[in-house]
């Protein structure tokens, strides 16, 4: 049920400016220094839209890919003030885009809208980091697996290029709170996501599924014991090169 490659994806959210290039350089230098030991890691930094082109032109790294954090559902250009389409992200050099993040769901992104965004992004051959996750109330009501199923079925279709979709399981109650699920809960949830996706979308292999929510240097070793987890989507701790690098180091300790 595991995919060998380990993903360490940073979600910088609304943080960073041109001077943040130094964070990426430091992570790049870490990758160069430990390239043999960490050759199975895939590092992706999803940065604010304003920085994608700049980082891509300045940084020539075979270790780090640059991604975006959201896109509009409309395919190319249109009268949507303040929005950016998948084709524009592609043009700026993004290889990945986060879609369905709970912070965007909280601002109105429904499963249906996320589906349209996924379609537009796949049309541009972008890789998708598709976030799913339950709220605290849904967890307390025992609805976690049902919510995850509805989110997957509501935004993904069998017809898509499913190899380009990475799922990030991010319990909403865990994001930015310092709280993480129990090991047994994680094992059960990851098994469920993988088998439900494979069964429902009739794939031959299990999907890549990441964990996201308050991952930091102190709790990363808890996750190392769970073989079903294919990597991590890291928010706050990815905005510092030291914290992000320490997460990767401690994962393998």
Which residues are annotated as catalytic? 101, 170
Instruction: Output DSSP code: residue 26.
Output: H
As to burial, measured by CB atoms within 10 angstroms (0-12 exposed, 13-18 middle, 19+ buried), residue 74 is middle
Contact region with ligand PEP (CB under 6 A), list: 74-82, 84-92, 132-140, 228-236: 228-236
Residue closer to ligand PEP by CB (options 51, 87) is 51
Select the residue whose beta carbon is closest to ligand PEP and give its number: 235
User: How many Å apart are CA 208 and CA 202, to the nearest integer?
Assistant: 15
- Hey, what are 24's tokens? 């990426």
Residue 213 engages ligand PEP in binding (rule: CB under 6 A):
yes
Tell the smallest beta-carbon distance from residue 42 to ligand PEP (Å): 17
User: How many Å apart are CA 210 and CA 233, to the nearest integer?
Assistant: 6
Residue 233 engages ligand PEP in binding (rule: CB under 6 A):
yes
Tell the smallest beta-carbon distance from residue 88 to ligand PEP (Å): 22
User: How many Å apart are CA 44 and CA 11, to the nearest integer?
Assistant: 9
Residue 214 engages ligand PEP in binding (rule: CB under 6 A):
yes
Tell the smallest beta-carbon distance from residue 107 to ligand PEP (Å): 14
Q: Out of 47, 132, 186, 215, point to the residue binding ligand PEP (CB under 6 A).
A: 215
Residue 11 engages ligand PEP in binding (rule: CB under 6 A):
yes
Tell the smallest beta-carbon distance from residue 117 to ligand PEP (Å): 16
Residue closer to ligand PEP by CB (options 133, 207) is 133
Contact region with ligand PEP (CB under 6 A), list: 36-44, 82-90, 211-219, 242-250: 211-219
Q: Angle between the 111-123 and 144-155 helix axes, to the nearest 10 degrees?
A: 40
Residue 212 engages ligand PEP in binding (rule: CB under 6 A):
yes
**Where does the chain have alpha helices with state H?**
21-33, 49-58, 86-92, 102-105, 111-123, 136-140, 144-155, 183-200, 220-224, 241-251
CA 76 to chain centre: 23
CB atoms within 10 A of CB 129: 27
As to burial, measured by CB atoms within 10 angstroms (0-12 exposed, 13-18 middle, 19+ buried), residue 135 is middle
Q: Which helix (H) or strand (E) holds 207?
A: none
Q: Restricting to residues 164-183, which ones interact with ligand PEP according to CB under 6 A? A: 170, 175-176
Tell the smallest beta-carbon distance from residue 39 to ligand PEP (Å): 25
Residue closer to ligand PEP by CB (options 181, 212) is 212
Residue 52 engages ligand PEP in binding (rule: CB under 6 A):
no
Interface positions with ligand PEP (CB under 6 A):
11, 170, 175-176, 212-215, 233-237
């Amino acid at each position: 049920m595991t995919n060998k490659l380990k993903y360490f994806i940073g979600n910088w959210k609304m943080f960073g400016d041109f001077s943040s290039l130094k964070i990426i350089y430091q992570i790049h230098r870490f990758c160069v220094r430990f390239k043999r030991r960490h050759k199975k890691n895939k590092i992706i930094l999803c940065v604010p839209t304003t920085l994608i082109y700049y980082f891509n032109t300045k940084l020539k790294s075979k270790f780090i890919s640059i991604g975006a954090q959201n896109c509009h559902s409309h395919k190319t250009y249109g009268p949507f003030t303040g929005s950016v389409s998948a084709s524009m992200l592609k043009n700026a050099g993004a290889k990945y885009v986060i879609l369905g993040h709970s912070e965007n769901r909280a601002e109105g992104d429904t499963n249906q809208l996320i589906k349209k965004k996924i379609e537009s992004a796949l049309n541009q051959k972008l890789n998708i980091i598709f976030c799913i996750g339950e709220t605290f109330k849904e967890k307390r009501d025992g609805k976690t697996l049902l919510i995850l199923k509805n989110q997957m079925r509501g935004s993904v279709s069998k017809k898509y290029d499913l190899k380009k979709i990475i799922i990030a399981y991010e319990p909403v109650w865990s994001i930015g709170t310092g709280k993480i699920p129990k090991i047994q809960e994680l094992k059960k949830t990851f098994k469920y996501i993988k088998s439900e996706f494979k069964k429902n979308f009739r794939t031959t292999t299990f999907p890549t599924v990441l964990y996201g929510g308050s991952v930091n240097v102190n709790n990363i070793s808890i996750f190392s014991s769970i073989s079903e987890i294919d990597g991590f989507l890291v928010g706050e701790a990815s905005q510092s090169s030291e914290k992000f690098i320490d997460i990767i180091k401690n994962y393998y300790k």
